[in-house]
Amino acid sequence: MQKLDDQAALEGVTEGKVVWDINTENPVKLSRLLQVIARTYDDLLRQNVKPMMVFTFRGSSTTFITQDNSKFSGEVLEAVELIQSTLQNLANRDGITLEVCAIASNRMGVAPDALLECTPLVGNTFCSLIGYQAKGYALIPVH
């Protein structure tokens, strides 16, 4: 079987700089995508590329990263719990930054002290997206 890698795309690349624009109402989809993103982190490391990933949460996605899961049940609760555990795992890795939009969390009724400790508030993730792209981070939307 052929060894799978991404060397053609990653040739000469030493840092994998990406900002994930996370704005989805679908926790099942988000939980699956976060699993792929975690694998992407590992795949970059395996191919000698230092991952530098910023996760910006805005819109409905802010409701999935709280300490209170009482409003969720069934498949949605399972997905939300997987989102939270994946984020807590990612937060402990080098090169990972997580942030939540204060504007969005306010609009979604998510109190700042209800957020997971690993997901701090920033003023406006649109500003974050602008800033990180200006610093050479690739934008990948997760909608």
pTM of the model: 0.96
Sorted by where each starts, the structural domains of the chain and their CATH numbers stand as: 14-142 (3.40.1260.10)
Beta bridge partners of 20: 55, 140
Angle at 36 between CA 35 and CA 39, to 5 degrees: 90
Question: How close are the terminal C-alpha atoms of the chain, in Å?
Answer: 34
> Any idea of the CA torsion for 125, 127, 132, 137, to the nearest 10 degrees?
70
The per-residue pLDDT for 2 is 81
Distance from C-alpha of 141 to C-alpha of 8, rounded to nearest angstrom: 23
Per-residue pLDDT, 3: 83
Instruction: Note down pLDDT in tens along the chain; length 143 residues.
Output: 888 899 999 999 999 999 999 999 999 999 999 999 999 999 999 999 999 999 999 999 999 999 999 999 999 999 999 999 999 999 999 999 999 999 999 999 999 999 999 999 999 999 999 999 999 999 999 99
- What pLDDT is recorded for position 81? 98
